[in-house]
Chains A and B, each alone.
Chain A
């Protein structure tokens, strides 16, 4: 997107040409003279470059109106192009900024286009430029999120700095600050921020969830239940109730809510992982296996999901399958004792005692020294194979 295509150049030049118009000026510009707009600051008058600010007020007002109309038209073209032809969208947004560097929608478009390309660094850079040029506080939460995305640890939370600028007036910033406090485990502070982010739907839900974590009472549970009616947040509500009941060791309820969450949104692999875990703890090994398989087949926590699947397979006496899963888990991560321990167990059940003992000793070396007394006698030399 940084290199200008011929098509884009053509579009840009046509915009500039389009902006040639007549401006009557009381003192310096005869009413019959034609002015050509060069850029946001200069016009061409009688072959001379003249600064717009040097024109009379009325002329400047007309120019401003023209700029506004053109910018809006450019943005419409840009918005139409953003899905299929992002380059075109980019250059029409850029054209608008050439005419009016304070034109916020064009800045938003450019940031958005960089985010679409997953180029967070450029998005952040452009957001900074946008903030400098427009001074719009609406950009502050965006800057905060992008900065967090860049994991810029040199600075303390930009949200907090920005909050100092805007006071408590920006709900999105307060929501971000609440998320930060929540992440740091400061639940009381998080609730305060979420309360400040009034009229923000997400913040209300975040507050209910945080209170559930903090208070663990029926009232808090009911507060989260309210969001089950909300089509945007019902998945989060079901998910959080599942996690809550899981942490409270109420596994039947946890299973119920994890089922509900997945019935709303079956794409969040974390929920499959949790449901697999719950299934396993409830002795539902086949269901657990199915859930863990869903995770690793979709690349979520691959090695962990694989070894958990292997544990289920082992318990279901599917020793060959368990061995295969453990092999793959070890290929991904050969620093986890459990991977070797499980593979050793699978080898043992397949009567591959030498390999079993090798794996168990690897598990011991990786931290499972507790099994050493259990294998010493068995792993004496002269094992059959």
Chain B
């Protein structure tokens, strides 16, 4: 086989496989399911049953279950996917957005088989507020529908409106979202059946609403397969609405009754009955009971539909909804006034901008007659009916405002009524939390968001704080304090760097006790192992040199070099520890250590003479202090003479309190001042 044919064969096989593996529509026909005949028959049965339910009952919720059973057998049918999607969109208890995967699957299988899948997909996207995707699908539908002559394109006008709504939502409403709290009134009011059209007594303590629930008077269903409408009453409790009851006869009958309005005094009711193509009825409260409703006479009712009405201006005005002659298109809002003696005036169309070529329904006017609320499915809606607010300025309605999201949804939003402050409103719509079909919701209009700042703390890094208790416990540890020893190494040198033989004394300065006394023979160096918790006083003496005193308390092994200064005239030694009895010249035994130091110094340096100078603190008279200082210096001299020091080497004098070195106001200062100085002369 030459190369050319090989290529041909490859492409034939490749595209053949591609065609087989690509998803394609497989209709519900037996020829496609020869090996699963039994299952096919059962699935087909379900399919036909569902079709019949829709045909006869229009119950999409019920039909959906049968379609789903067929779908479990065979999912690759465009028609079945489309039908399931349709059930989700049109069903009462289904969520339209769940139709999306079925519609997308139908398009995937064969996008041209049922072009309306694009329309429905557009609707699903619109419901999900995916405005761009909705517009794209609506436009696809529009294009395909125009090309395909076989298609029923009667929905094209609706599609145009939907596209306009999507653009409106995208460009206008999406930019501003009102701060509104929306709550479903809950199961006490709402049920799986449609509830709508709540109206209130002026004190807002009593609510009337319409429901098509299964406990309707007569228990009968209309051709739309919903139970006939009845009017219900509920009373407000502290927490919610309660004591819901069917108003019963004479208000409710086996036919349709829906509540429209309660007069400002709470004693008159407007209601709708289906007779005569739909008329407005009037009932009055007498005692605790409502009177037999009476159809309002012409011109309020007409041969056309009158579907809604509300009282205004103390019941002297009625706004009503009708498609009567004079409508701009569909249902419009009209106004009629009660003239004494003449009755109700011919209803007058409110005209543009309130009324449009589309439907305007569910009218309500606030108690101050300034704001008119109504619903419309016009091009300024974001889908289905939206709620609008018109403002009365100088007698004419202007400033038409779509109430925006989240009040309005892509579904029908209707029957908007407010309390006197217009901060709380009730209306009918269908949110995700619906109890089923349409429900009554409460909307609370909030003030603009006011951000509350989180209270910041001064978050700082942490450094461990000193643990004083641990330090104290450490100090209590006697073993450590008492027994720990450190080495103190010293080296004594003369000023010119030579070593000297010295005498070293170590004593306990507190107990005034000599601990040891040593001479250094080896180049003036010494080493002591000393207790860490003990104070020591070290005295270094060498012949011909001034003594050196050092107080020690070791915290670690320590070393130090001591430089000896030669003895020379004018140098002074100061002894603060030569004590006398108070006011006496008698030497105290406490002075022994210091006196011994002085004696040793004089014995080592036999050639020097000294002057002993006594000082006192400032306690007592100056004259007495002067005399006392001299006497004390003499006592020291006498002691030294008694120890063998020549009298010729010692002179003495006293300075009294004349030369203080410390602060006489403190105990410590006075202690410093009571001293004996030894001057080399």
Contacts and interface: CB of A to CB of B under 8 A. Distances in A.
B482 A205 contact: no
A182 B477 CA distance: 32
Nearest to B457: A273
Interface stretch (B404-412, B466-474, B648-656): B466-474
What is the interface residue range for chain A against chain B? 35 or more
A341 B461 contact: no
A136 B510 CA distance: 13
Contacts of A344: 450
A169 B555 contact: yes
Interface in B92-127: none
Given A105-B481, A349-B181, A311 B461 contact: no
Interface string A90-124: 00000000000010110111011001100000000
B679 to A, nearest CB: 28
A294 interface: no
Contacts of B511: 60, 64
A113 to B, nearest CB: 9
Interface stretch (A6-14, A18-26, A29-37, A137-145): A137-145
B478 A105 contact: yes
Interface in B498-517: 510-514
Contacts of A280: 454
A366 interface: no
Interface in B444-466: 444, 446-450, 452-457, 459-466
A342 B181 contact: no
Given A112-B476, A353-B423, A371 B450 contact: yes
Interface string A246-276: 1100000000000000000000001001100
A375 B472 contact: no
Contacts of B513: 57, 60-61, 64
Contacts of B452: 307, 311, 314, 338, 341-342, 345
B423 A383 contact: yes
Contacts of B447: 348, 356, 374-375, 377-379
A175 B469 contact: no
Interface string A347-385: 011010100100010000000000100110111001110
B635 to A, nearest CB: 17
A374 to B, nearest CB: 4
Contacts of B481: 104-105
Contacts of A270: 457, 459, 462
Contacts of B533: 104
Contacts of A360: 450
A243 B460 contact: yes
Contacts of A107: 475
Interface in B224-264: none
A179 B421 CA distance: 61
Given A108-B472, A353-B423, A374-B450, A277 B459 contact: yes
Residue of A51, A61, A213, A384 ringed by the most chain B CB atoms within 10 A: A384
B462 A115 contact: no
Contact of B450 (A53, A277, A341, A383): A341
Given A233-B464, A270-B457, A308-B455, A53 B589 contact: yes
B475 A105 contact: yes
Interface residues of B, number: 50
A38 interface: no
Nearest to B591: A53
B420 interface: yes
B475 A104 contact: yes
Nearest to B551: A135
Contact of B464 (A53, A136, A206, A336): A206
B455 A304 contact: yes
A351 B444 contact: yes
B626 to A, nearest CB: 29
A247 B457 CA distance: 12
Interface string B544-555: 000000000101
B220 interface: no
Contacts of A232: 464
Nearest to B480: A105
A247 B475 contact: no
B292 interface: no
Contact of B455 (A141, A338, A378): A338
A334 interface: no
B535 interface: yes
A72 interface: yes
Interface in A60-76: 60-61, 64, 72, 75-76
Contacts of B421: 382-384
Contact of A72 (B455, B472, B478): B478
Nearest to A295: B457
Contacts of A382: 420-421
B424 interface: yes
A135 B533 CA distance: 11
Interface in A196-243: 202, 205-206, 209, 212-213, 232-233, 236, 239-240, 243
B590 interface: yes
Contacts of A175: 466
Contacts of B462: 236, 239-240, 243, 270
A281 to B, nearest CB: 8
A277 B456 contact: yes
A57 B514 contact: yes
A43 interface: no
A54 interface: yes
B461 A53 contact: no
B551 to A, nearest CB: 8
Interface string B579-599: 000000000111000000000
B419 interface: yes
B475 A138 contact: yes
Nearest to A209: B461
A193 B446 CA distance: 58
A27 to B, nearest CB: 12
Nearest to B473: A112
Contacts of B482: 72
Nearest to A370: B450
Contacts of B477: 105
A348 B545 CA distance: 94
Interface in B193-243: 204
B483 to A, nearest CB: 11
Contacts of A57: 513-514
Contacts of B472: 108-109, 111-112, 115, 142
B459 A108 contact: no
A53 B471 contact: no
A224 to B, nearest CB: 9
Contacts of A374: 447-450
B423 A384 contact: yes
A353 B181 CA distance: 14
Nearest to B514: A57
Contact of B424 (A105, A115, A247, A351): A351
Interface in B622-672: none
Nearest to B464: A202
Nearest to A247: B459
B423 A277 contact: no
Return the 8 tightest CB-CB contacts between A and B, nearest first: A108-B475, A378-B447, A304-B455, A112-B472, A240-B461, A374-B448, A384-B421, A108-B472
29 contacts: A53-B588, A53-B590, A60-B511, A64-B513, A104-B475, A105-B475, A105-B477, A108-B476, A115-B472, A146-B468, A209-B463, A232-B464, A243-B460, A244-B461, A246-B459, A270-B462, A274-B457, A277-B459, A301-B457, A304-B455, A305-B455, A307-B452, A308-B455, A336-B455, A338-B452, A341-B450, A374-B447, A378-B446, A384-B420
Given A112-B469, A202-B466, A384-B204, 8 more contacts: A102-B535, A137-B555, A142-B471, A206-B464, A232-B464, A304-B455, A307-B452, A374-B450
Interface of B: 181, 204, 419-421, 423-424, 444, 446-450, 452-457, 459-466, 468-469, 471-473, 475-478, 481-482, 510-514, 533, 535, 553, 555, 588-590
